[in-house]
Homo-oligomer: A and B are copies of this chain.
């Protein structure tokens, strides 16, 4: 056999990749896996006939299935890309069809509830690696997932005590091939970190946009027309899928409510300072917040 040439494509991470759900994340994984040669064959399942037809047209999968067990059969790696609330139901459906060596992972934004759901499937649990690619846009559906969505973004792996090291290793190498950086933490710590960096920001953005649209003194048309002064950034965050965010916030409500209580106290403190005309309190807080932005830029996450 001749030595590998320098221009030879890297070997695939898995032979057969199954994706359950062809929304933003599922379609982005499919495109990224194809672009990077991470899998030799890609099968994708979606419950919606309309979405399946669109996937066929877009052509980013080798096979399209209606049934999740059909998609998971013969796969080396199964990635759950549907809403987290359906995790237990999908695991129950695919477990009997899985190869004994198949590794299963997910992309959900909450991890403790997903890890608990997977823990119920004793034969599968050691090969289930809860994971969360911290990437996204406000767009949804199979047209939205770009191949570079994960490039330079973090994918957090949140294994539990019983997770097999080889399974963690495989999922980590898969995400690194797609361009992600990976880190490992417990499901519970993940949920606290994400409550701060993602779940609370979405809750507040949705709420402020809804509050604004309810005011009597200002018309909806005015709010929209003059949104360029800051409001439009909130509307962008608030453009994400409402059902998905309902599920995330309910699943992680304990951590989100704890951080929210702190935020409410801080907002009340700012309101008091404004009522007193105490600009120094505002400026100190604003300067501290601005320094965090510098950190985000330096970390290459802007």
* A contact residues vs B (CB 8 Å cutoff): 109, 134-136, 138, 153-154, 156, 183, 192-194, 196-215, 217-218, 220-240, 242-243, 245-247, 249-250, 253, 256-257, 259-264, 266-268, 270-271, 274-275, 277, 279, 282-283, 285-290, 292-296, 298-299, 301-302
- What are 22 A-B pairs with beta-carbon distances under 8 A? A109-B229, A196-B212, A197-B226, A197-B229, A206-B286, A209-B293, A211-B266, A212-B259, A213-B288, A228-B301, A230-B237, A238-B290, A238-B293, A242-B286, A242-B287, A245-B282, A250-B277, A250-B282, A253-B275, A253-B277, A260-B271, A261-B271
User: A282 to chain B: which residues have CB within 8 Å?
Assistant: 206, 242, 245-246, 249-250
Per the bound structure, the CA–CA distance linking A286 and B235 in Å amounts to: 11
Per the bound structure, the CA–CA distance linking A213 and B263 in Å amounts to: 11
Question: In whole Å, how far is A220's beta carbon from the nearest beta carbon of chain B?
Answer: 7
Instruction: Let me know if B296 and A232 touch, CB within 8 A.
Output: yes
User: A298 to chain B: which residues have CB within 8 Å?
Assistant: 224
Instruction: Let me know if B230 and A197 touch, CB within 8 A.
Output: yes
Instruction: Let me know if B238 and A289 touch, CB within 8 A.
Output: yes
Instruction: Let me know if B256 and A198 touch, CB within 8 A.
Output: no
Known A-B contacts A224-B301, A233-B233; the reply to A197 vs B212 at CB < 8 A is yes
Per the bound structure, the CA–CA distance linking A197 and B230 in Å amounts to: 6
Question: In whole Å, how far is A83's beta carbon from the nearest beta carbon of chain B?
Answer: 12
User: Looking at the complex, which one of B193, B230, B292 makes contact with A209 (CB distance below 8 Å)?
Assistant: B292
Per the bound structure, the CA–CA distance linking A181 and B195 in Å amounts to: 40
Instruction: Let me know if B264 and A225 touch, CB within 8 A.
Output: no
User: A199 to chain B: which residues have CB within 8 Å?
Assistant: 230
Instruction: Let me know if B198 and A235 touch, CB within 8 A.
Output: no
Known A-B contacts A207-B267, A213-B292, A288-B210; the reply to A250 vs B279 at CB < 8 A is yes
User: A237 to chain B: which residues have CB within 8 Å?
Assistant: 230, 233
Known A-B contacts A209-B293, A260-B267, A279-B247; the reply to A196 vs B225 at CB < 8 A is no
Instruction: Let me know if B198 and A231 touch, CB within 8 A.
Output: yes
Per the bound structure, the CA–CA distance linking A206 and B213 in Å amounts to: 22
Instruction: Let me know if A232 and B301 touch, CB within 8 A.
Output: yes
Instruction: Let me know if A230 and B202 touch, CB within 8 A.
Output: yes
Instruction: Let me know if A224 and B302 touch, CB within 8 A.
Output: no
Per the bound structure, the CA–CA distance linking A214 and B193 in Å amounts to: 13
Per the bound structure, the CA–CA distance linking A106 and B136 in Å amounts to: 39
Closest A-B pairs by Cβ, 10 of them: A198-B229, A242-B286, A201-B230, A209-B289, A239-B293, A238-B289, A224-B295, A197-B231, A235-B293, A246-B283
